[in-house]
Amino acid sequence: MRLAFLIQRFNPEVDSHSSTRRYHLDVGRGTTVLDALIRIKNEHDGSLALRYSCRSAICGSCAMEINGSEKLACRTSVRREWERHGMVTVAPLRNLPVIKDLTVDMSSFWGKIRDVTPWLTSAPQNAGRPDIAQRSPSPASSHFHNVDACIMCAACVAACTVHEVSKEFAGPAALAKADRFLEDHREPIEAKRHRLTVLEQEHGIWDCTRCNFCVEVCPKDVKPMEAIIRLRRSALAAGLTATGGARHITGFAELVRRHGRLNEALMPLKILGFNLRRLFTVLPLGLAMARKGKVPNPFAAAIPGAARIRDIFAASRRHPGAP
C-alpha cells in the first residue's frame, strides 16, 4: 500500500517557521508510524530529526502528534491512522519548544517533575534520618493508582489545555508523580502536609480545568486528572482551604447544599470573601453576565426539594468512599 505522509519540518538554523513536507512510502501490514518515519529518514531524507529508543512503548521518547492527537509513534499503526483519517500527518508535541522537526525540548517538563520532589522526604524533625523516612509500617497499604506506570513521554503535557495558556502550570505528569508520593505511606504526615502546601499554590492542583485530555492521550492509563482530583481532596481534607481554587469548590458545594442549586451571584463572595478591592475587580464580569441574564437573584429561596439534596450531602459525609 503506497501512502502519503505529511510531516511537519522545522530547522532552526535556516527556517523562520515550520512547514509541511509530503513523503510517499510503500508500507506493509503492521507498519507503525515510527517504522515509517525511520524509513523516510533512511530512504528519502536523512535530515529528518526524530527521537526514539525502545520501539516498544517503554521509553516514552517517540511521543508526537499524529493526526492531531498525541501518541507514541512506535505503537501507532499506520494502517489504522489511514483508515480513520484518510491520511497520516505527523507533528512535534505541542506546548514544548521545538528543537528540530519532531524533537522537542523536554527541559521544562523535567524541571516540573523535579519541582514536585519526586522522592520520599522526611518530616522536618527527621531530617538526616533516612532510616525513619524509608520505614514502611505496612508496605501493602500504599495505592499508587497506576501512576508508577508513567513513562515520561509528555503526551499529557502536550494535550493539556491549561499548558496551552499557562506555561507555569505544574502539569498533569508532574502532579500525577506528586500524587504517587502523597499516597506512599512511608512518608510522614508532616512531610505530606508540606507537599500539599506547595502543590496548592498558584500553578498547582487548582489550575487544572478538568478537560480530561491528559487521560485520553496517556498511553499508559495513568489518568493524571484523577490523580489531581485525589490531590485536591487530600488538600481539602488537610484543611488547606484558603486558596481561590479550594474556596471555589467548597463555596460551590455549600451553595448547592443550602439552596439546592448553584447561585452564581454569590460565588464571588464565596471565593474572594468580603474584600471590596478584589470584588471590584470582578465587577465588569458580573455586569456583563447580568446584561445577558446570567446572574440569578442572590436572595432567591431554595429550590423545592432542597432538603433531599441536603440529605445527599449528609449521606456522603457519613460514607465518604461511597460511589
List contacts with ligand SF4 (CB under 6 A): 60, 150-156, 159-162, 172-173, 176, 208-214, 218-220, 222, 224-225, 228
Smallest distance, ligand FES to C-beta of residue 66, A: 12
Binding partner selected for residue 154 from ligand SF4, ligand FES, none, CB under the kind-specific 5 to 8 Å limit = ligand SF4
Binding partner selected for residue 161 from ligand SF4, ligand FES, none, CB under the kind-specific 5 to 8 Å limit = ligand SF4
Closest CA to 218 of 57, 87, 105: 57
- Report helix, strand and coil shares of the chain as percent, to nearest 5: 45, 10, 40
Comparing CB distances to ligand SF4, the nearer of 106 and 255 is 106
Smallest distance, ligand SF4 to C-beta of residue 215, A: 7
Strands 19-26 and 2-9: antiparallel
DSSP state of 34: H
Neighbours of 152 (CB within 10 A): 17
Residues at the interface with ligand FES (CB under 6 A): 52-55, 57-62, 72, 74
- Beta-carbon contacts of residue 7 (< 8 Å; ≥ 6 apart): 20, 21, 22, 23, 37, 40, 48, 89, 90, 91, 101, 102
d(CA 320, CA 75): 39
Smallest distance, ligand FES to C-beta of residue 24, A: 24
Binding partner selected for residue 52 from ligand FES, ligand SF4, none, CB under the kind-specific 5 to 8 Å limit = ligand FES
Comparing CB distances to ligand FES, the nearer of 69 and 121 is 69
Smallest distance, ligand FES to C-beta of residue 288, A: 47
Binding partner selected for residue 268 from ligand FES, ligand SF4, none, CB under the kind-specific 5 to 8 Å limit = none
Smallest distance, ligand SF4 to C-beta of residue 233, A: 15
Closest CA to 240 of 199, 186, 300: 199
Binding partner selected for residue 156 from ligand SF4, ligand FES, none, CB under the kind-specific 5 to 8 Å limit = ligand SF4
* 126, 188 Cβ separation under 8 angstroms: yes
Q: Which three cell numbers stand for residue 97?
A: 519548544
Closest CA to 263 of 243, 286, 240: 286
